[in-house]
């Protein structure tokens, strides 16, 4: 996340993420799945603006920002207790005992039900904004503990750059220096519920190793990286939405280095040789009306 603070408010740019690798290792006793994933933040951002208030109220204003062509996946943003931003702010207040209020404005650009982590990223930003705006002095481990209570992906977004996440996703190991990558990301006109995808997925009997992909990234071998992209959830998602196979074929026809689904879908991405190539492909796919299409790069 990118944080700007002035005398009036805290403004945080909250990134989306892509899963370059996603393995499902088994079902846990708590109902979650044990996973191993490599997540990479990308240059597609929501914006969270935070102002502390003299009242004890938490006010949340949500709006959709300028979206890419297609506009799919931009449903009404909840403004009640279902909203992760409000839940994060309330959790900070409850755990620290503060009664301070805030006015929060959330500008959404990252589509929902896409596997891009927009809601989790916004929640992480709310934790950071509350800690700074209310001058609470919580440490990063303390914020990470709160983040894990909110959702499996939320702890990842407290860090900058790529990371390997294990457990149910809350165990985060930073992976700096993996290099710049250029992507085209498509969120088709329909989404998928994470629970539905996991319900169809069968954990690996012989888990795929992550290390070959990490080695290729460390060596800067982007072509090899493209051939090592993997998501165990993709086969399950293909059974639930025809868009997954369709987008895979479309991106394969665009001479990408590799392609795959992010998270539990339905967002699908291709890895390209350059930013110029990614922009050209994004324009072609926008013209085909396949949903919301953006050209992005990995973020550090």
* Secondary structure of residue 247 in the 3-state scheme: helix
190 by Cβ neighbours in 10 Å (0-12 / 13-18 / 19+) ranks as middle
pLDDT score, position 204? 84
Residues of the chain with pLDDT under 50: 68-70
Does residue 266 have a cis bond before it (omega within 30 degrees)?
yes
pLDDT score, position 70? 47
* Secondary structure of residue 2 in the 3-state scheme: strand
1 touches 157 (CB < 8 A): yes
pLDDT score, position 130? 97
Radius of gyration of the chain (CA): 19
pLDDT, the chain, mean: 93
100-113 residue pLDDT tens: 999 999 999 999 88
DSSP 69-123: TT-TT-PPPP-STT-HHHHHHHHHHHHH----EEEEEEEE-SPSSSSS-HHHHHH
282 by Cβ neighbours in 10 Å (0-12 / 13-18 / 19+) ranks as buried
Q: Which of 125, 187, 186, 116 is nearest to 150 (CA)?
A: 125
Strand 2-5 versus strand 10-27 pairing type: antiparallel
Mind listing the domains of the chain with CATH numbers?
A: 2-173 (3.30.230.10), 182-297 (3.30.70.890)
From residue 217, alpha-carbon distances to 58, 172, 220 in Å are 43, 18, 5
246-277 residue pLDDT tens: 999 999 999 999 999 999 999 999 999 999 99
pLDDT score, position 80? 57
CA distance 212 to 224: 9
203-247 residue pLDDT tens: 988 999 999 999 999 999 999 999 999 999 999 999 999 999 999
102 touches 53 (CB < 8 A): yes
CA distance 156 to 38: 10
Q: Which of 294, 291, 230, 298 is nearest to 266 (CA)?
A: 291
**For residue 112, what are its two tokens?**
């929902």
* Residues identified as active-site: 17, 153
Strand 101-108 versus strand 58-64 pairing type: parallel
Contacts of 75 (CB under 8 A, 6+ apart): 112, 113
234 touches 260 (CB < 8 A): yes
pLDDT score, position 22? 98
Phi/psi at 108 (nearest 5 deg)? -95, 135
């Amino acid at each position: 996340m990118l944080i700007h603070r002035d005398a009036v408010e805290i403004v945080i740019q909250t990134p989306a993420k892509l899963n370059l690798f996603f393995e499902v290792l088994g079902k846990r006793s708590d109902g979650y799945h044990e996973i191993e994933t490599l997540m990479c933040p990308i240059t597609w951002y929501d914006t969270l603006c935070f102002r502390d208030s003299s009242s004890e109220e938490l006010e949340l204003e949500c709006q959709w920002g300028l979206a890419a062509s297609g506009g799919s996946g931009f449903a009404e943003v909840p403004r009640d207790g279902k909203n992760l931003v409000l839940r994060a702010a309330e959790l900070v207040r409850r755990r620290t005992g503060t009664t301070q209020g805030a006015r929060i404005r959330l500008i959404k650009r990252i589509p929902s039900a896409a596997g891009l982590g927009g809601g989790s990223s916004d929640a992480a930003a709310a934790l950071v904004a509350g800690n700074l705006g209310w001058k609470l002095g919580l440490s990063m481990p303390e914020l990470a503990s709160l983040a894990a209570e909110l959702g499996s992906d939320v702890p990842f977004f407290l860090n900058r750059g790529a990371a390997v996440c294990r457990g149910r996703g809350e165990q985060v190991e930073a992976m700096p220096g993996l290099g710049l990558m250029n992507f085209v990301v498509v969120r088709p006109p329909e989404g998928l519920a994470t629970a539905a995808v996991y319900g169809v997925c069968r954990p690996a009997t012989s888990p795929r190793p992550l290390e070959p992909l990490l080695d290729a990234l460390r060596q800067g071998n982007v072509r090899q990286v493209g051939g090592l992209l993997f998501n165990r959830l993709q086969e399950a998602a293909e059974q639930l939405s025809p868009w997954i196979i369709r987008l895979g074929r479309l991106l394969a026809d665009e001479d990408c280095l590799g392609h795959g689904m992010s998270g539990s879908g339905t967002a699908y991405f291709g890895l390209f040789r350059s930013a110029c190539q990614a922009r050209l492909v994004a324009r072609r796919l926008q013209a085909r009306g396949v949903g919301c299409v953006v050209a992005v790069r990995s973020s550090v």
